[in-house]
Amino acid sequence: MKPNEWTQAIIGAAMEVHRALGPGLLESAYEECLAREFELRHMSFERQVALPLEYKGVHLDCGYRLDFVVANLVVAELKAVDGIHPIHEAQLLTYLRLSKHKLGLIINFNEPLLKDGIRRRVLNFQDDEE
């Protein structure tokens, strides 16, 4: 599948979880359920992927983790917050840069309509990759 198809598949799985659970739970509950939904849909993914940080030649273990990396292509960061703020988008862009991935989603399950809680971000967009 192409990157856009993967993001659509991720969003579809997230919508199924949101349809079943609704807003108001902890992020960890949505993460568990989304992992199960990915499994049911036979989507390849990694969960809680360590994100090492290197600063001026020194490897720092700061404990940063990517919620999901789907198909080794799309970083999916989950939230269960009042709204997506610029700091959340900055976090995703930094995670993309540090992990060397180009495509990411923020999915905020704490919205009455999940579509209002989804942001797609691309780092170093290239037309031929879409």
pLDDT tens, position by position, 100-113: 999 999 999 999 99
pTM assigned to the model:
0.90
- Reduced to 3 states (helix: H, G, I; strand: E, B; else coil), residue 21 is helix
Q: Which residue has the tokens 């269960």?
A: 80
Helices (H), 2-47: 3-21, 27-40
pLDDT recorded at residue 130: 46
User: Any idea what the CATH number is for the domain that residue 7 is in?
Assistant: 3.90.1570
The total number of structural domains in the chain stands at: 1
Contact (Cβ atoms closer than 8 angstroms) between residue 75 and residue 41:
no
Q: What is the mean pLDDT of residues 8-37?
A: 98
Run of H or E residues at 89: helix 86-99
Domain region containing 112 = 3-129
Share of the chain above pLDDT 90, in %: 82
